[in-house]
Each structure stands twice: as C-alpha cells, then as structure tokens.
Amino acid sequence: MKRLSLAALSLTVLLAACQQQSTVVNPRPPVTSSPMQAGGIPTPDIDPARIILDPNSGAQYVSDQLVVGLGGLDSTTLAAQLGATVIDRLPQLDAVVLHLSDGSALQKARQLNEEGRVTFAAPQQIMQMEPYTKSIREPALSPLAVNQVFDALPQYALDSEHLNAKAAWDAGFTGRGVTVGVIDDPVDVSHPDLRANWAGKAYDPKADKTYTTVQSWLDAIDAFGSVPMPVDNQVDENIEHGTAVTSTIAAARDGRGVVGVAPDAKYLTAAMFQPGSVGSAGVAKAILWMVDNGAKVLNNSWGGAGFDPLIKAAMDYALERNVTVVVSAGNESREYYQRPALFAGVIPSAALAVNNTKASFSSFGRHISVAAPGTDILMASPLFINDDGTRKLGATPPDGSGYVLMSGTSFSGPYTAATAALILGAHPELDPYQVRRLMEETADGSVGENPNGFDRGTGYGRIQLGELAQRLQSGPMPAKGGALKVLVQFKKSDGTFVTQTQPSDVIIEKDGENGAIYGAQTNAKGLVQFAAMAPGTYTLRVGGPDLKADTALKERGSYTGKVTITSGTTLADAEPIVVTLDKGFYEPPPPVVDPYEPNDSLETATQISIGMRTQPALIYRESCSSSCTPVNGDVDFYKFSGTAGQTVEVALFDKYHPTEKIGNMWGVIYIRDSTGNLLKDSAGKVIQPGIVDNKFTAKLPTDGTYYLQAGTYLHLNPTQGEKPYTGGFTNSKDNKYFIELKLK
C-alpha cells in the first residue's frame, strides 16, 4: 500500500476546484474586517500579517488564534491562564477560539495537548479558494440535445447514458421531504431555478447571523467584501460557486432553465466562503448550523491537505445525528487523500468526463465511493434579483443568461449529494453508511478500470439512478454501518502506561485488495473515532507523534493489528480499542526543583555575586497549575553588589541559548538599580538579552545593590517586566534556565 502521513497540522486551502475553461479567477485575499456583526459571537477575522507558514507541514495557520476543544474546562479560566481572550464559541462541540496577543498559537497548542487537560488544541487554520477557470456560453438547443432537455436547457449529465435521472423521478423519487445543506460561497436564492426550493434560511458564519428573507440575504451578500462594503447592488464577481453547486442538487423542475437531480428537495445555504478567507471555526459553525437547522445531507465541494481536529469534530457531529456527508474527491490529477475526503463516514465523489471515463483532473484512491459527471456541467450562475425586479451585478454580466458551464469534482459531489436526497426521501431511516452503500451497490462499474467492482479512479462506478430506483422500490437495504474508537497509550520504561496526548496518526484499511482507507489523528486524550463505517475487518495502523513536529523524540512508535467493526454500533456505544506503543514517548528527566524560591519580588531576591553561575531554576508556580493568570505568573529576582563603572555581562541560558540550551522556555532577563528602576542603554532603551547571543552588558552607574529579574519572554516583554504583567504566562515544569553574571 501507499504510505500515508497525516502529520500536517493544517486545514489548508479550498479545493473548490473548478478546473473550468477560459477565464482565470484569482484567489481572494484574507479579509480584514467583518461585514456584519449580529446574532451570536462573530467568527474572528484573519489578519494577513498573522498568517504563518509551518515549515514542517507547509500549512498556513493564524499565529494569534487558537482553537481549543475544552473537554469540560471553563473557557474564561483557561483564557486567563494563557493571557488570551475568547473570540468565538462553538458550544455544540464544547470548543472556543482564543486570541493570543503574543502570536504563540502553535506553541500554546502543543502545550495544551501535552498537558492533556483539553480535548484538542490547534491553531486556527486558514482556507481560501484556489484559482479556477470557467467558460460562460449561451446555451442553445440542437438536435443532439433533444434527449437531454429535462426543463428548458440541455443537461447531458441527467440523460440515460449518464445519471438517468428521469428513471428515478418517474418512479417517484425526487428528494421530497429532504433538506440539503450547501456549505460553499453564498447561494443566490433569488435565481428563478433556485427560489422555489430554498428552505427559507441562510447563514453567515462570520457574523453568526441567520437570514430568512430573499432580500435580506441578497443585501448581506452585497455587503460581503475584504472590507465592509455598502449595499450598492454590486456583488463581488467571485461569488458564484455555491449557486452553481446548488443548481445541480435542487433546481426546481418547472419547465425553465435547468433542473437538479433532487428537484423536490429543499436546500440551506451557508456562506462559508466570502471574498477573502475564513478559518476552520467558520467552517465548523456552518456545518453545525446546517445540522441544527434540519439538513439531512451536507454537500462539501471543498477540501485540502492535512488534518484539523475541529473540522473532524464537526463532521462527526453531523454523522452522529444521521446526517449524510458528501465531499468532493479533489482535482489533483493523482492519487491523493485530501481532507475531508479521507475522513471516515463521508462519501467521496470522483468526477467523470462527458464520455463516461474518469475526468483527467479527478483525484483518485482507495477512499473513493462513486463517480458522477463533472465535466462541462451546465449550471445556474447568480442573478441576484431584488424584490423590486432589479438586479445586483456580479459574476453574471448584465446581458448574461444566468447559466454557466464548469468542470470539477466540485460538481460531481453535488450530484452525489442529490442522490443521497433521493434515497433519504424514500427511506429516511437509513444511516449515512447505508446511503453510501446503496449508491455503490447500484452504480455502473463499466465506467472504470474494473467493470465488475471497485477501482481507484471511479470507486464503484457511475451513479445509476435507474438501478437505484429499482432497489429503492423492492430491493433489500444494506446493513447498518458501524463505529470504531481507538485509544493510544505508551508503555513507559518503568512498565506503567500513559495516554498519548500529542497527535498520533491512525489509518484503517478494510480487508481486501481494494479495501477503503480512512485516516485521522488522536486528540489530547489519546482518542480517535471513526463513524458510519462499513462493517467488517480492518487493518489498523498507528504511528506515534511525528518526529518533525516533536523534536524531543528520537524514534517514532508504530503499531499494526486487526480490528472488527460491527453493524449497528455507534460512537455513543463503541468501546475503545486500546493500542499500546513502546517507542516514541518522551520521558523527561526528573523535574528540577528551584533552589532559590521564594524569590518572586525585590524584597525576597536571592543573593548572588559577580563571577557566579546559578544552579538551574524554574519559572513555575505549583500553586497556580489550574488557576494561574499572567498577573500571578512566576517571576524570579536575584540581587548582587556592584561598583560604579563596572561593566557586567549577564547571560541567560534557556531553550534558545546558542551553545548551552536548557529546558523549553523562551526567557528574558532585566537589570534594575537599587530603587528597582530598569537600567537603560545609551539610546534610552531597556537593557535585555540579544536575540542571537542571549546576553547583555551593562555599565553600573553607582555603587550599591542591583537586581536581575528573570521570566518568560511572552510573559514579561509586553510590559518590560513592570507590574501588572499582562503577557501570556505558560506555567510549566520545563521552564528551566540559569544565569551567568561576570565582569566584561
């Protein structure tokens, strides 16, 4: 098998991936302000200056925004401990987004995961739409298109040689009673093909606001921009993808325009992508809102590399509530296991060309479920028709038809989501796995390399709605899906066991030559879960924390074994399979006991002398392990006697010392005179160690007592050591350091 790595910590860019023709559409820059702030807590905006590239994973994250699964902890207390503020909440997942003024999201995530007090912690990941191309053509009927007209315009994808949609409709399967959630850029609910089947609610996760009228939603879209925009009937021309996607699902069958595969289904829209970018919290909020507002199918025409625990938790939230989740396979033109298509329980859809072969751009792999047309698909483009009949201008030019041709797995995915709606309209009791398996068992395998079964390019083949309709009418339903939980622990050198708190990769492969593959990472409790799975036997592969992500590790533990998933089990009742690794656990040396405490003030400063190197000490306070705030964080003081004119050199040995590293602390040290005032250099700047050499020199102005004040950089630097301390305080037994004081 191909070795898979999920070590990247990122939820990366959108793969809306319309590899269309002609015009290139550029990525949208990150937004810097929210267009509306109403309802609950607005999703935080992403400051472009805070976007950091992780050199290990290649992922981009927001350095001052931390996503935390609380695991029952009080968010206010946790924020105070970290010197952070709560800027967003996801109560359904017991999760928050914290703002860290010191830009330490990656470090704080590692610290919180290592402690194991939270469920998970990760920097807020950014998502952006990749460039894509499109071709707008005015549709025209021709003799070749006669058999492809189901409303007014020709749609080859629905004809008997492709999806065979009419066979399902004639059998009475139209998606009636099912609501599909479209998580994309905002849908034009005023479009003549889409207005009738809008479920009456639209959601802006950035403002955390729900809209219930066509005009209010159109005006909200009008205001979307990289900065707040006036409502002036000018919509950003990049907003079009969600409208196209939705028309393949639920465009009404009314004798005009195009028709969706589920023409009687309703749809909800959430503006996950607006001009600019949105983080993982906004995406998760859109998923949660859809589920809580009655969606039974979710369409996700986006994706990317890496793993994000918040998005995984949101997907599991949907699956646990019997919501079918459809995702696009991606447009990498290669074997590629992107997120969320690699998550268990979802239905990854590949794209077909017009001639019923795998589209050249479509990603492939052992996780693919089925395929649907994804090349030159005729869809709706936004018209934004105001209540008074006038139009807002945007992606569709003033003289445009309101229809567009596009290609990509972005559009095979919605055909698959619409098929799920047909199934659930007939059998609402089915779980997400049963919905997936029905599609697979009735698919046409002749389009792929293995006409009698599975292949990596098209999965089990092209969705065949005629065969599906017959099965829905009289055939047996598949067995229910199952669930799996895995708990990863380490066996220490003393024979005791400890939960693995840092992320470990967990990959499961169903037995058989073409068994499906799914992957995820453990959380800070050592747990990973897989929902809505095919029953049967799987190979379970576990890899301990990545050595690149955890430089303290010398080797990576691994495990391979067999597990069985039983039909009917759910995440609520599945007992965890315990996996024990005997390698890859970092056992730190015995903790250092600070020999100089208490020395937290000028009055209690420890006496040292010039020419002395201190013993290792700690910036740590035992009493505040669960309630410490920056104001009360540990600070150490030392005092020595000096003579006027002496030049002293003070070196701080910490994690970043160039030659003698110790502990895991980024430290800082200041020098004060006998009255407690900070000494400054000739330019009037407070004296502190250089970034490269970790030392400073100071010429003593008078005879008398001088003080050295040591602490963590992120804690003391914002106020240059003056109370009240406001920087983020990390209370860790690994905050080790020592000081060397000598004459220059």
Question: For residue range 444-474, what is the model confidence (pLDDT) as tens digits?
Answer: 988 878 877 887 768 888 999 999 999 999 9
Give every strand in the sheet of 636-642, ordered side by side: 606-607, 636-642, 704-712, 667-672
- Identify the CATH number of the domain defined by range 138-474: 3.40.50.200
What are the residues whose beta carbons fall under 8 Å from the beta carbon of 372, sequence distance 6 or more?
A: 157, 163, 349, 350, 351, 352, 412, 413, 415, 416, 419, 462, 463
Q: What is the mean pLDDT of residues 327-351?
A: 77
What gap in Å lies between CA 308 and CA 326, rounded to an integer? 18
Maximum mean pLDDT: which of 71-80, 81-90, 210-219: 210-219
Phi, psi of 347 (to 5 degrees): -115, 100
For residue 25, the Cα-to-chain-centroid distance in whole angstroms is 24
| pLDDT greater at residue 692 or residue 456 | 692
Question: Does an H or E element contain 179, and which?
Answer: strand 179-184
* pTM reported for the whole predicted model: 0.78
CA-nearest of 469, 380, 378 to 165 is: 469
Enzyme catalytic residues: 184, 241, 410
- Tokens encoding 676: 């407690």
Mean pLDDT, range 59-81, rounded to an integer: 91
CB 647 within 8 A of CB 697: yes
Asked if residues 730 and 643 have their Cβ atoms less than 8 Å apart, the reply is: no
For residue 290, what are its two tokens? 């859809």
Domain boundaries along the sequence of the chain: 138-474, 482-581, 606-743
- CATH topology of 138-474 equal to that of 606-743? no
Element (H, E) at 416: helix 409-426
- What's 295-335 look like in SS3? CCEEEECCCECCCCHHHHHHHHHHHHCCCEEEEECCCCCCE
Q: What is the mean pLDDT of residues 679-691?
A: 92
Rank 293-297, 342-346, 586-590 by mean pLDDT and report only the highest.
293-297
Q: 568-611 pLDDT, tens per residue?
A: 999 999 999 999 987 766 555 566 689 999 999 999 999 999 99
- Give DSSP secondary structure letters for 560-598: EEEEEE-TT--TTTPPPEEEEESSS---PPSPPP-TT-S
- Contact indicator for 116, 525 with CB cutoff of 8 Å: yes
The pLDDT of residue 32 is 28
CA–CA separation, 516 vs 533, rounded Å? 10
Average pLDDT over residues 486-504: 85
The reply to whether CATH 2.60.120.380 applies to domain 606-743 is yes
Residue 587 one-letter amino acid: E
Query: How far apart are alpha carbons 679 and 52 in whole angstroms?
Result: 35
Q: What are the two backbone dihedrals, phi and then psi, of residue 221, each rounded to the nearest 5 degrees?
A: -60, -40
- 655: how many CB neighbours lie within 10 A of its CB? 16
For residue 104, how many C-alpha atoms fall within 13 Å in the half-sphere facing its CB?
A: 20
Radius of gyration of the chain (CA): 29
Of the two residues 629 and 433, the one the predictor is more confident about is 433
Q: CB-side exposure of 646: number of CA atoms within 13 Å?
A: 18
Of 2.130.10.10, 1.10.10.10, 2.60.40.10, 2.60.120.260, which CATH number belongs to 482-581? 2.60.40.10
Side chain identity at residue 650, one-letter code: V
- Whole-number Å distance between alpha carbons of 495 and 622: 27
pLDDT of residue 514: 79
Q: Which two tokens stand for residue 114?
A: 């290592």
Q: In residues, how long is the chain?
A: 744
The contacts of residue 333 (CB under 8 Å, 6+ apart) are 360, 361, 362, 363
Predicted pLDDT of residue 40: 43
CA distance 336 to 415: 21
Percent of the chain exceeding pLDDT 90 equals 56
**pLDDT at site 625:** 53
Q: Which residue has the tokens 């669930």?
A: 483
Q: Please provide residue 503's backbone torsions phi and psi, each rounded to the nearest 5 degrees.
A: -60, 130
